[in-house]
Homo-oligomer: A and B are copies of this chain.
Amino acid sequence: MDSVPAAAASSAESVTVSADASAKVIDGKLVAKQVREEIAVEVSRMKDAIGIVPGLAVILVGSRKDSQTYVRNKKKACEAVGIKSYEVNLPEDSSEEEVIKHIASFNSDPSVHGILVQLPLPRHMNDENILNAVSIEKDVDGFHPLNIGRLAMQGRDPFFVPCTPKGCMELLHRYGVEIKGKRAVVIGRSNIVGMPAALLLQKANATVSIVHSQTKNPEEITRQADIVIAAVGVANLVRGNWIKSGAAIIDVGINPVDDPESPRGYRLVGDVCYEEASKVAGAITPVPGGVGPMTIAMLLSNTLESAKRIHKFK
């Protein structure tokens, strides 16, 4: 596609989107559905062949409404593909020891292949102590430092790739975006998205730069990228003039912004200004409906992978 001058793509207010937008929409909802269907086939094949059903255990501490919703969605997604789910709900004032006791019990339970501790944990708990208690073989979130180290190293493979960055890569692959030899910029360097996404792109032989809060000229660097993964949590940070013509844009941000016209009074937008970016980019994920649906699909994928590995099923 032709290069769009920055000035022509600078109106964030424009809502006449689809008509002149030229970027291909990377449909995360559709890909996630495909992935879930593929997982359901594999789960069923495994059950028929060796009588084993993958199992995912979720530990929820406290009664945050959002966490309860996430856990419920994860359980539903498990059921839909035939993965067995186990749930433990502990009161807000539980001790670290109690949480760790439950983790230990799942660690040694052969019907559980993945263990997930829903974050955030109550303030009085040390995340690190609790997450480190999850057996590395069942750490389907992939947050254990040993796992991250293996992700960073050449010649080593992680036990699990963290779900959201894995979802980003899956979207790039399924839409045929070439990674090897390409310039990639990751905006944000969180332990759960930005940093592992950068390591994954690097492992796939992209030339990777990480842009963060201390970066002086983020737009200049981002404009060099053939692939952008934005995971910083700032609504509409990445404007049209940050983007190289034809680039592939993966937007991990899900930010509520006021919208009096919405029945809820707000709407969700990404870290990338979609209206502007979609006129410059070659392909872009929408928010919602982009990376969001991929995260749970990748959690199911990691749980299946774990069960296959533990039972040496190919």
Say whether, besides A146-B146, A152-B152, A154-B191, A210 and B208 are in contact (CB < 8 Å).
yes
**A193-249 interface (Cβ within 8 A of B):** 195, 199, 202, 205-212, 214-216, 221
Contact with B along A268-289 (1 / 0, CB 8 A): 0000000000000000000000
CB of A155 within 8 Å of the partner chain? yes
Question: A209 contacts B207, CB within 8 Å?
Answer: yes
CB nearest to A154 among chain B residues:
B191
Chain B neighbourhood of A189, CB < 8 A: 154, 202
Chain B neighbourhood of A110, CB < 8 A: none
Q: Complex formed: what's the CA distance from A221 to B226 in Å?
A: 14
- Count this chain's copies in the assembly: 2
- The smallest C-beta distance from A165 to any residue of chain B, in angstroms, reads 13
CB of A144 within 8 Å of the partner chain? yes
Q: How large is the interface on A (under 10, 10 to 19, 20 to 34, 35 or more residues)?
A: 35 or more
Q: Is the interface of A mostly helix, strand, loop or mixed?
A: mixed
Question: A210 contacts B207, CB within 8 Å?
Answer: yes
Contact with B along A141-182 (1 / 0, CB 8 A): 000111111111111100000000000000000000000110
CB nearest to A202 among chain B residues:
B210
The residue that A195 contacts in the complex, of B152, B205, B216, with Cβ under 8 A, is B152
CB nearest to A224 among chain B residues:
B221
**A104-156 interface (Cβ within 8 A of B):** 128, 144-156
CB of A190 within 8 Å of the partner chain? yes
Question: B216 contacts A207, CB within 8 Å?
Answer: yes
The residue that A152 contacts in the complex, of B128, B199, B221, with Cβ under 8 A, is B199
Q: Complex formed: what's the CA distance from A38 to B199 in Å?
A: 36
Chain B neighbourhood of A206, CB < 8 A: 214
Q: Complex formed: what's the CA distance from A216 to B152 in Å?
A: 22
The residue that A149 contacts in the complex, of B144, B181, B205, B221, with Cβ under 8 A, is B144
Question: B145 contacts A156, CB within 8 Å?
Answer: yes
Query: Can you report 15 A-B residue pairs in the complex whose CB atoms are below 8 A from each other?
Result: A144-B149, A145-B146, A148-B148, A149-B149, A152-B152, A152-B195, A153-B191, A153-B195, A154-B190, A181-B214, A181-B215, A207-B211, A207-B216, A208-B209, A208-B210
